[in-house]
A and B are shown apart, each in its own frame.
Chain A
Amino acid sequence: MGMTLAEKILSEHAGKEVRAGEIAIVKVDLSYTQDGTGPLAVRKIEEMGFKEVYNPQKTVLFFDHASPSPRFELSNDHAFLRDFARKTGVQISEIGFGISHQVVAEKWVRPGTVVIGADSHTCTGGALGAFATGVGSTDAAVAIALGKVWLRVPETIRVVVESRLPVGVYGKDIILHLIGKIGAAGATYKALEYAGDTIESLEMAGRMTIANMAVEAGAKVGIFPSDEITRQWLESMGRPEMFQRLSPDPDAVYESTVRINARELKPTIACPHQVDNTKTIDEIGEVKIDQVFLGTSCNGRLEDLHVAARILKGKAIHSKTRMIVTPGSHLVYKEALKDGTLGTFVESGALITAPGCGACVGLHEGVLGDGEVCLATQPRNFLGRMGSPKSFIYLGSPAVAAATAIEGKIADPRKYL
């Protein structure tokens, strides 16, 4: 009997064959935390009595949520984490260097590995063919200290996406459509595994957007086969030696299969206050927008900024709205600066903020007030997430974000492309 991608990777890391439903203790190749979950993880490591970590080279503490710190309490947390790094030799990714999930995809994540992160969007690494999953601070602490984690091997839902994506429709629309279809708990405890010709030709940025939002359907991982596009990505990041081709067995056993015809997809929006509350752009009606936010681990990549800049080039942002652009990492920021993308945003009247999670967390850099409405490219729109519990968050693609910034209301990007 063949194996799914999840079963293959977990069997390899458990040192024995494991199947869906079994509990496995697996080796962890990379562990990381962010500044909101790191301090608690470090306290748990200390509570367990560990003075050193399993592999300092494969442990990274990210400073991305409060980047730079807007409050002294968080500066104290940062100092606490830096001190732990000095004592144990673990890696630090400083303020401004970017969102954990983006940076690990650039520097660390490899196909076929197990990645544990104390952040729910760790599943982004599934785009590179890794079993990457989010956990709480205690599980991350154990992974950091012991180099292992316990997991229930998930059943897999196969998602087959076929035919050509229409103009103006992106990875974000595929995943919003899927979540709208199966629901916010549609894949709870399960793996989502992607296949089909649309997926095969989808570039890494689109794959990362889709993998990132696996958790919004409740999934443990959203995993892609590792193929030529994976190889090209690793090569472009200067680490071609880390490539390994990986696909599920042809006779792997799936719990179910969901089929999506890409040709029928339209720009898709998640409406307040749940990610599965989706509508197509044609159904959305008139929704005036106070703030447009482009960025996050979901859509803060160079390709995302390019899509938005292409629409915004030579146009001004609507007088009754404002736009915030937050590159996902230092590398994205540098490249977008070099190729003129950031200049296009500035000319249009957008504000560029430091690489990091930015406004998505409701902490700084674009906190919403009472009654305000935001169109964001982030993965989540829960009540009060970006500030006031009386504000409203709509989710869409970078193209929708750009068209919306021009019109001051949720707008269809297809007429600009």
Chain B
Amino acid sequence: MKGRVWKFGDAISTDDIIPGRYFYLRSNLPELSKHILEYDRPQFAGMIAPGDFIVAGKNFGLGSSREHAALVIKLNGIQAVLAKSFARIFYRNCFNNGFPAIICDTDRLREGDEIELFLEEGEIANYTRKETLSFLPLPPVMKRILSDGGLVEHVKKYRDLKLTT
């Protein structure tokens, strides 16, 4: 599915993605989701179309372990987050919730570009700039979690963790 690029900088923390001041909304996810990345881009939730991409620089998702950061991204219809690098807890949280976090050279993607993600091929087609960006294949364990639809679905299926060969 094609989607457009929303571009962010380096070191976007989970406090940026969903500020601590909305702590009290964590059990009200539809309401919490309205505040996604609002410090960096006021009213961002209203601008996102389903299938869009968040594209950022280094160390995306650093800080707090709040899984709500990954959840509000998913609930706003973002299909994947692309960054030069990710903080580890956030990275796991994305896959656990069934959507990918892709490490790639995001300097080659610009705000508003129309792109499509080909996970199996390890490629991103940029239709606006008429070029293809490749990325390293996902680790097998992440692929497995993703293909099962997230970690909850994986555990529902196996009643166990079946992630190593």
Contacts and interface: CB of A to CB of B under 8 A. Distances in A.
B61 to A, nearest CB: 10
Given A23-B164, A382-B16, A135 B155 contact: no
Interface stretch (B74-82, B84-92, B111-119, B124-132): B84-92
A61 B47 CA distance: 37
Most buried by A among B26, B141, B160: B26
Interface stretch (A82-90, A142-150, A300-308, A318-326): A142-150
B67 interface: yes
B68 A380 contact: no
B146 to A, nearest CB: 13
B89 A135 contact: yes
- A interface, size bucket: 35 or more
B59 interface: yes
Contact of B39 (A49, A185, A367, A383): A383
Interface string A397-414: 000000000000000000
Contacts of B96: 136, 138-139
Interface stretch (A102-110, A345-353, A384-392): A384-392
B52 interface: no
Contacts of B141: 23, 150, 152
Given A47-B152, A138-B152, A382 B26 contact: no
B88 A218 contact: yes
A43 B63 CA distance: 23
B27 A39 contact: yes
Given A136-B92, A138-B97, A363-B23, A185 B164 contact: no
Contacts of A387: 21
A98 interface: no
Contacts of B151: 138-139, 142
A120 B65 contact: yes
B63 A382 contact: yes
Interface string A126-167: 000000001111110110011011101000000000000000
A138 B62 CA distance: 18
B92 A139 contact: yes
A152 B142 CA distance: 11
Given A74-B23, A362-B19, A383-B15, A137 B67 contact: yes
B11 interface: yes
A357 to B, nearest CB: 10
B11 A274 contact: yes
A25 interface: yes
B23 A36 contact: yes
Given A39-B26, A48-B156, A135 B13 contact: no
Contacts of B64: 119-120, 380
B89 A134 contact: yes
B29 to A, nearest CB: 9
A65 interface: yes
Contacts of A367: 21
A142 B163 CA distance: 13
Interface in A264-287: 274
A136 B95 CA distance: 11
B7 interface: no
B65 A185 contact: no
A140 to B, nearest CB: 9
A25 B163 contact: yes
Interface of A: 23-25, 36-37, 39-40, 44, 47-49, 65-66, 71, 73-74, 76-77, 80, 118-120, 122, 134-139, 141-142, 145-146, 148-150, 152, 184-185, 188-189, 215, 218, 220, 274, 361-363, 367, 380, 382-385, 387, 389
Interface of B: 11, 13, 15-16, 19-21, 23-28, 39, 58-59, 62-68, 70-71, 85, 87-89, 92-93, 96-97, 139-141, 150-152, 155-156, 160-161, 163-164
Given A362-B20, A362-B23, A367-B21, 12 more contacts: A23-B140, A36-B26, A39-B27, A48-B152, A71-B24, A120-B89, A136-B93, A137-B67, A150-B164, A152-B141, A274-B11, A362-B21
27 contacts: A36-B66, A40-B67, A44-B152, A47-B156, A48-B155, A65-B23, A71-B24, A73-B25, A80-B27, A120-B65, A135-B92, A136-B66, A136-B67, A136-B96, A139-B151, A185-B59, A188-B88, A215-B89, A218-B87, A363-B20, A382-B13, A382-B15, A382-B63, A384-B15, A384-B20, A384-B21, A384-B39
